[in-house]
Structure 1
């Protein structure tokens, strides 16, 4: 693709986002930035969340990962559906009844301030890493499609991308995100659908024949029953449930959007409809993965060593200008959709949870903007570090990291919801730091200790269980007269 064309596409798309930002951020204040004044239409939130949840990880990594692990990722998504039901029926009512801005305020009410700050801190670390990984993918594509042609280094690509995101989120915050996510979800899904049709056209396939090609392919194998495998059905399904609860229900990034709905009922409808749309969207990406590998095989095109590069390579170099432009819009939309909401959620959590901004009488808006800039810089630095050390599929890396960083959050909330036992709040941070360390050691030695067993995403459950057990041991007897 011509670099000028790439630049034109990105520029037009960015101007569209800025236009949305202008109309949604008029007369905005901190309440608008943090909660969108709780006036978002549920169906708009539901559709927009699809793009944010799919993100650049799904857009690039899931089709490419089909070549490594077939359709076994769908086992994980099946678990996701159960997790979303738990979020809708248990967590949404809890958070709405407490009228929370940050969901980690629950931990302060249940355990104390130390637990509250610990939960918020784990979210900030987890979200910074996860969002940076996702944005890294988009930056790689932009580097290949545009910046390499002019000899511009990768760090400049990352800096330009993240500044663009900051520019259209710094005023309207979550209110702007709800609307821009809707636009970005549309482009993301449109990109995968058009990519499938382009492959059909190149391979002279009819719609009915595509179903046959996908279903008969060895790459479409869904279930893995090998108990030693890290993609075994039972552990992948369970991991899907609890990672969804942890990474969505206990994640300020996702729940902040749900809490912008007018009431609890709208938020629950949002979750259920979003989960259904998400499931079928994932099926599209997996089908695209099968078609990508079949196309490359039929055309004699060498498969890149890194599976994350399969889709970008074919879309930008083999499918023609229209498909290349649509792919570019899709990856930019996916990256912006996940990174912009992450940046907003990080700013919200730090301002509300760490700085307690609502108690500041002056300069609240200035403080929020400085925090917003600070997290923009931090995400830039994390992406640069990740680029230097990355050597595996990003889709695996993101969830592996999440298993260690979201585990304490899952343990904290599970303990708080399942019993009323008081704990020694001052010692909770030590338990939450110790849990990921022990989980990492167990994961590292699992094959030797457990007869060849390999942990996959379910390491999250081990981590949460260690946290839960530690909290149980921190029982604090109440004294009174």
Structure 2
């Protein structure tokens, strides 16, 4: 496939995004940027959240895991559904009742100013690491398939992609992203369906026959019943619930879109609609993964893991399918990166700098500060993408979930303590607790063999981290006078 043609398709796709951004960002202000003036359509938000949640990592890594873990990843997705219900019916009512722009203002109202700052700081750390890891994977694929053919170094490709994202999010923020994410999610899902259709036809299989072929090979096995395994179904389902509670319900990027919906009822409909569609889409990705491994075996292709899908799509499929794959991959990349940059800008401006609390600033000054932070966040993204390039981890989805276990655990503990307990914490000591809990988890994780023998801790490290944070907060708390 001609790199020039692929590059032309990417530019054309980006120009379409710019047109959408121009239309949606007219007369935009800080309120538009942060929460879309609370006028977003819940159906558009639900559909666009699929693209944000899946990202380029899911697009490439989830199919690649099938060769090693079969459909075991779907156990996490089952747990996600439970977690999304908690977000819809426990967290969203709180956020709407308090009319929040930043969800971490809840921590200030409930626990104190230091708790609020600690929660916002951990979100910034979590989203920066997670989003740049996702961004790196897709940029790396684009570099190998397109950009290196023009003798461009990796960092130039990363810079160009980030500049593209800046161009269409700089003014409109959430108001623009709701629409661009909808477009990009549609393109990503079309690419997924086309790839499934092509491989089934190439292998001369119907949908039912494809499912049977995967079953015969053992690829479609979902549940792991060995309690000592890190993929044991109960551990994975529990971990999946906590992952969606924290990485969606306690994440400013995901909630920023939800609270941009006008009413709580519509926001809840958005969340649960998204949850069920998300399950179906991930199942289709796993099905595609099994088909890719069958295709690779039939054609003597040695690629596995994160390299499997790109290798087959770009080297062993017709040109039109390769173009669709690249557009779908870009469509998976942009919703996770643009939302993360916008949410991090919002959180840093509101939670760390406090521009909405500072009455000495006028709207023009607030906008200038917000735009400066937006540029700085993009520069930080470029830096971390280069760090991940240097690290070159072979399975990015595993790395991202591992990072989440350490960085989202304190958020889980803070919110859980605020909601489930009526006690008053010593706010000055909260930063020590939220730093100590991940450090203890790191020690536990590195000494699993010595501590637990054959028993393996996997994704449930997030829940352990949250529990340690909760217990630490309890230890520095007293009975509430209000109680």
* Bucket of the pairwise TM-score, normalised by the shorter protein: over 0.9
Work out which of the residue numbers 406, 417, 427 in structure 1 matches 2:408: 406
Paired residues for 1:344-355 under 5 Å: 344-355=342-353
* Residue 337 (structure 2) aligns with: 339
Paired residues for 1:69-468 under 5 Å: 69-304=69-304, 307-358=305-356, 359=358, 360-362=360-362, 363-468=365-470
Deviation per residue, 1:203-223 (Å, 9 max, x gap): 122233223223333111111
Pick which of 228-237 and 283-292 moved more: 228-237
Deviation per residue, 1:163-197 (Å, 9 max, x gap): 11111001000010000010011011111110011
Deviation per residue, 1:23-63 (Å, 9 max, x gap): 11000100000011000110010011011111111100000
SS in 1 for 2:102: coil
**Cα separation, 2, equivalents of 1:347 and 1:151:** 33
Shift of 1:478: 6.7
* Residue 50 (structure 1) aligns with: 50
8 A contact 2:410–2:437 mirrored in 1: yes
**Cα separation, 1, equivalents of 2:271 and 2:171:** 27
8 A contact 2:423–2:480 mirrored in 1: no
TM-score for the superposition, normalised by structure 2: 0.97
Pick which of 69-78 and 213-222 moved more: 213-222
8 A contact 1:412–1:468 mirrored in 2: yes
Shift of 1:454: 1.5
Shift of 1:448: 1.3
8 A contact 1:443–1:454 mirrored in 2: no
SS in 1 for 2:348: helix
**Cα separation, 1, equivalents of 2:102 and 2:480:** 28
**Cα separation, 2, equivalents of 1:214 and 1:23:** 45
1:477–1:275 Cα change, 3 Å: closer
**Cα separation, 2, equivalents of 1:427 and 1:185:** 43
Shift of 1:479: 8.1
**Cα separation, 2, equivalents of 1:204 and 1:232:** 35
8 A contact 1:199–1:291 mirrored in 2: yes
Deviation per residue, 1:112-158 (Å, 9 max, x gap): 10000000000000000000011111101111221111221111111
SS in 2 for 1:337: helix
Shift of 1:110: 0.5
1:334–1:458 Cα change, 3 Å: same
8 A contact 2:36–2:174 mirrored in 1: yes
Structure 1, gaps ≥5 residues long: none
**Cα separation, 2, equivalents of 1:314 and 1:338:** 24
8 A contact 2:303–2:311 mirrored in 1: no
**Cα separation, 2, equivalents of 1:299 and 1:323:** 17
The Cα RMSD (Å) is 1.2
**Cα separation, 1, equivalents of 2:176 and 2:208:** 40
**Cα separation, 2, equivalents of 1:419 and 1:330:** 45
**Cα separation, 2, equivalents of 1:391 and 1:265:** 41
**Cα separation, 2, equivalents of 1:18 and 1:140:** 23
SS in 2 for 1:275: helix
SS in 2 for 1:220: coil
**Cα separation, 2, equivalents of 1:59 and 1:383:** 18
8 A contact 2:57–2:138 mirrored in 1: no
Structure 1 residue runs of 4+, over 3 Å off?
Answer: 476-480
TM-score for the superposition, normalised by structure 1: 0.98
Paired residues for 1:8-19 under 5 Å: 8-19=8-19
SS in 2 for 1:409: helix
SS in 1 for 2:123: helix
Structure 2, gaps ≥5 residues long: none
**Cα separation, 1, equivalents of 2:96 and 2:169:** 25
8 A contact 2:422–2:479 mirrored in 1: no
